[in-house]
Amino acid sequence: MKLDDFNNIDINNAGSLPVPVKVVLLTSVFLIILGLGYYFLWSPSLDSLDTVKAKEQELRKVFLDKKSQAINLVAYKQQMVEIEKTFGALLKQLPDKSQMDGLLTDINQAGLGRGLEFESFKPGQETQAEFYAEMPISIKVTGTYHELGAFATDISKLSRIVTLNDISLSLVNKDAKSATTDARLEMVATAKTYRYLDSNELEAKRKSDSTGKIKTGGKG
C-alpha cells in the first residue's frame, strides 16, 4: 500500500481499490461515525446519567435520614413525654394572676419571719414573655448577716419561682470599725417572680404580635 493509492482513489470505482486501502477507508469511516454518535447521542445521555446518579445519592441520603428518624421515633416520643412532664411541673410553679397577691405576701412574711425590717417593698411593672409575665420587686431590708442568708434560703424554697437579683449589702452603721456577724446590714435587691398568662392575656398577646408583624411587613 502506497501513498499514491490514497491520492488516486475513485469513489465511483471503490470496489476495485486495493484491500489495504479499503480497510483504512472503512476504519476511518467507522471512527468518524463513532465520534459523531458519541457527540450527538452518547454524550447527552452520559450527562443525563450523571444527573440521575446525583439525584439517586440525594434520595438515598433522604431515605437514610428518614429511616433513622423512624427507628428513633419511639425514643423521640418518650423524650416529648418527659419534656411535657417537666414543662408541666415548671408551669405549676408559676402562679396565675389571682395568686400573685398571696405570693407577694409570702415573700414579705419570709423576711419578717427571719426578723428582717423592710424599709421598702415595691412591686414594679410587669413585662410579658411568650407565655408568662415577669414582675420585679424592689426590696430594701435590714438584718444581720445570718438573717439575710436565711431569708435568701427561704425565698429559694418557696413553692413558686422567685429569684433575688442585683444584690448589694452595706453596713447600717458605716462608722463601725469592723463588721461582725451581729452587725446590722442593709440589703438592696430586686426579687423577680413569674406568673403564667391566662387565656385572655395569651389571646390578646397573639393579636398584638400579629398586628405588629403586619405593620412591620407593610412598611417598605
Can you name the residues that pair with 137 across neighbouring β-strands?
Answer: 123, 191
SS3 26: helix
Higher model confidence: residue 72 or residue 176? 72
Taking the CB of residue 151, how many other CB atoms lie within 10 A of it? 23
> Which uninterrupted H or E stretch holds 92?
helix 73-92
Average pLDDT over residues 115-133: 86
Can you name the residues that pair with 139 across neighbouring β-strands?
Answer: 121, 189
Give the per-residue pLDDT at 199.
74
The residue type of 99 is Q
Q: Residue 211 burial (CB < 10 Å; 0-12/13-18/19+)?
A: exposed
Distance CA 95, CA 161 (A): 9
Distance CA 41, CA 49 (A): 13
Q: Give the model confidence (pLDDT) of 44-58 as tens digits.
A: 666 677 777 888 888
Residue whose grid cell is 418527659: 82
Number of H helices, E strands in the chain: 7, 5
Average pLDDT over residues 66-71: 78
96 and 195 Cβ atoms separated by less than 8 Å: yes
Q: Give the model confidence (pLDDT) of 8-55 as tens digits.
A: 555 555 555 566 666 666 777 777 777 766 666 666 666 677 777 888
SS3 139: strand
Distances (CA, A) of 120 to 94, 132, 164, 186, 188: 24, 26, 15, 11, 9
Q: Give the model confidence (pLDDT) of 140-161 as tens digits.
A: 999 999 999 999 999 988 877 8
Domains and CATH numbers, the chain: 1-71 (no CATH), 97-202 (3.30.70.60)
Distance CA 108, CA 119 (A): 11
Q: Give the model confidence (pLDDT) of 206-219 as tens digits.
A: 777 777 655 655 55
